[in-house]
Amino acid sequence: MARRNDHSREELKTMIINSSWKIVSKHGLEGLTARRIAQDIGYAPGTIYNLFNSMEDLYLSLNAKTLDLLYDVLNDSTCNDPQKKPLQNMKIMAKHYMDFAQEYRPYWLMLFNLEITEDRIDTTWYSEKIDRLFSPLETLLSPYFSPKQTKKREMAARVLWASIHGLCFLQETGKIALVSKQNNTLDIADYLIDTFIKGLSK
């Protein structure tokens, strides 16, 4: 077993997060325990709690990594092509979101399975990462709102995002057939976006 001074505090945090990421990939969130992490990195379980307030605190760090990856996907130039209409870019963004959910499924599910209940954890930084996710979609929605309608644009981005997410969740949990005979979730998402934008354009 490694000694506490074999690695710096930051090195240990990185080791723990990387180990946790690997464990979640293989065993899911339910398989992520302090003992399993400790065995993987060669330290005592107490080391995890010396660096994180709790397992929930560690989960937030994992989710932060997922949020950063997701933001990069949504902010990719292919979703914001100036040669395409905003409507087209929104559909591409929706596809990228669904592809991300499939590729990073256990981490994507963690984003929505975690309930933050400990008041002692400062989650301001976490909330900022979540808010940042909406900015690429808000940019695409800008042509449908005046510069003074900031709040309405922000609301529209969250409503549309939540709707696409709902379809994505049904797809990833194998329940899309319960609400639609249309098996192609992307076709449903395209119809949703078309209808949503038509409503804004009236």
Place of tokens 């709707």: 163
User: Tell me, what's the pLDDT at 81?
Assistant: 95
Contact 125, 115 (CB under 8 A): no
User: Tell me, what's the pLDDT at 149?
Assistant: 96
User: Tell me, what's the pLDDT at 89?
Assistant: 97
User: Tell me, what's the pLDDT at 90?
Assistant: 98
Portions of the chain given CATH number 1.10.357.10: 55-201
Rounded to whole angstroms, the Cα distance separating 72 from 77 reads 10
The series of mean pLDDT values per 10 residues for the chain, 202 residues long, is: 69 95 92 94 92 89 95 96 96 97 93 66 81 96 95 97 94 82 84 95 73
User: Tell me, what's the pLDDT at 178?
Assistant: 77
User: Tell me, what's the pLDDT at 180?
Assistant: 74
N-term to C-term CA, the chain = 66
Query: In CATH, which of 1.10.3720.10, 1.10.10.60, 3.40.50.740, 3.30.1490.20 is domain 1-52?
Result: 1.10.10.60
User: Tell me, what's the pLDDT at 163?
Assistant: 96
Portions of the chain given CATH number 1.10.10.60: 1-52
User: Tell me, what's the pLDDT at 176?
Assistant: 84
Rounded to whole angstroms, the Cα distance separating 157 from 167 reads 16
> Domain spanning 55-201 has what CATH number?
1.10.357.10
**Cβ contacts of 48 within 8 Å, gap of 6 or more:** 16, 34, 37, 38, 55, 58
Residue 35, both tokens: 């003992």
Contact 62, 14 (CB under 8 A): no
User: Tell me, what's the pLDDT at 6?
Assistant: 76
User: Tell me, what's the pLDDT at 84?
Assistant: 96
**Cβ contacts of 141 within 8 Å, gap of 6 or more:** 86, 153, 156, 157, 160, 200
